[in-house]
Amino acid sequence: MKEIQSVKNQIIKEVKKFHQKKQRDVQKKYLLEGYHLVEEAVLAGATIDKVFIDQKGYELYNDWLNEQLVDCYLVSTEVLKALSELPTPQGIVALVDKQEQIVENFTGAWLLLDGVQDPGNVGTLIRTADAAGFSGVILGEGTADLYSSKVLRSLQGSHFHLPIIHRNLIEVIQQFKQAEIPVYGTELNQDALPYTKVTPRKDIALVLGNEGQGVSQDVLNLTDRNLYIPIYGQAESLNVGIAGGILMYHFVSDRNH
């Protein structure tokens, strides 16, 4: 196995650039950390460009890596730390090709994110959509980058489980409407409908919005109904991840009978 000891190595310098969204966008690759996630990437058929592994990781995963026939480097602790964006590096960092997601039509339940900015919220919402058996997630403009370290951390591999696509929400909502699939916005006011009044059904689109501003007015104007979750106590609002969890599980609750 090739070895790299210095953080000044040219390959390391190049790969560190993928900490930046711009580089990920242009090259259509991203960094993935931890054995479990790298294994999921392989199982999902993702192309692994390079793998960097420290001595401890080498001892643990060497056999497995040999099987995968990927371009693999044994690196010093300093180098792995330089590549890692986790507080505690996991011994393995891989450069992975983004997978092109092709969605022909929107059957089933879809989650639409309109400017959700916090990476933890975006990751948790997608993971919850995965758990709830949603068909996919559509990321509108202003939503945190799917391939940032923080989103990947809270995603826990869910981007290998369901399609996640980038679209203009105004355009995509019109597609849902043409297909006669109801589109539900979320609005934190009493003009909206309490979510429990909506009967669960198979095909729906649910839009969640920015942490501070909520769903943008342009989008709210296009939705079929706007929903709210009643606040019974004194909290001013719910975290958008929690709100998403409550709504998504409401929409699939009939699967349980």
Nearest-approach distance from CB 6 to its own copies, in angstroms: 31
188, 228 in Cβ contact below 8 A?
yes
Nearest-approach distance from CB 74 to its own copies, in angstroms: 30
Name, in order, each residue with C-beta under 8 angstroms of 171's C-beta and a sequence gap of 6 or more: none
Nearest-approach distance from CB 17 to its own copies, in angstroms: 24
Neighbours of 20 (CB within 10 A): 11
Distance in angstroms (rounded) separating the CA atoms of residues 76 and 238: 44
The two three-digit tokens of residue 35, written as one number: 């054995």
Distance in angstroms (rounded) separating the CA atoms of residues 122 and 23: 20
Nearest-approach distance from CB 211 to its own copies, in angstroms: 12
The two three-digit tokens of residue 193, written as one number: 């409908």
* Closer CB to its own copies, 107 or 174, in the complex: 107
φ, ψ (nearest 5 deg) of residue 31: -95, 135
* Closer CB to its own copies, 171 or 212, in the complex: 212
* Closer CB to its own copies, 18 or 123, in the complex: 123
Binding site for its own copies (CB under 8 A): 120, 124, 127-134, 154, 156, 158, 161-162, 194, 196-197, 229-239, 241-246, 249, 252-253, 255-257
* Closer CB to its own copies, 40 or 54, in the complex: 40
140, 206 in Cβ contact below 8 A?
no
Torsion sign across C-alpha atoms 124, 130, 133, 136: positive
Nearest-approach distance from CB 247 to its own copies, in angstroms: 10
* Closer CB to its own copies, 102 or 235, in the complex: 235
* Closer CB to its own copies, 138 or 243, in the complex: 243
Nearest-approach distance from CB 243 to its own copies, in angstroms: 8
List, in sequence order, the alpha helices (H) in the chain: 10-16, 21-27, 35-43, 55-68, 77-83, 119-131, 149-155, 169-178, 217-222, 240-251
